[in-house]
Amino acid sequence: MNEQVKPEPYEPPALLEVGEFGEDTLGPVRALFPDGVAHMRF
């Protein structure tokens, strides 16, 4: 049930991009997937 609510193939790439670039990617990534960034921050 959780898989349908949150796309799994969306979080992995978002986490990698944020970690590789750092805060520079937080801006664009946050606008694209606010949920992904929030999950990583917590």
Give residue-wise pLDDT tens across range 1-42: 555 565 555 555 555 554 555 555 555 555 555 555 555 544
> What are the DSSP calls for 1-42, one per residue?
-HHHHS-GGGHHHHHHHHHHH-HHHHHHHHHH-HHHHHHHH-
Distance (Å, rounded) from C-alpha 7 to C-alpha 24? Answer: 24
pLDDT of residue 2: 55
Give the start-to-end residue ranges of the domains of the chain: 2-41
pLDDT of residue 29: 54
Q: What is the DSSP letter of 21?
A: H
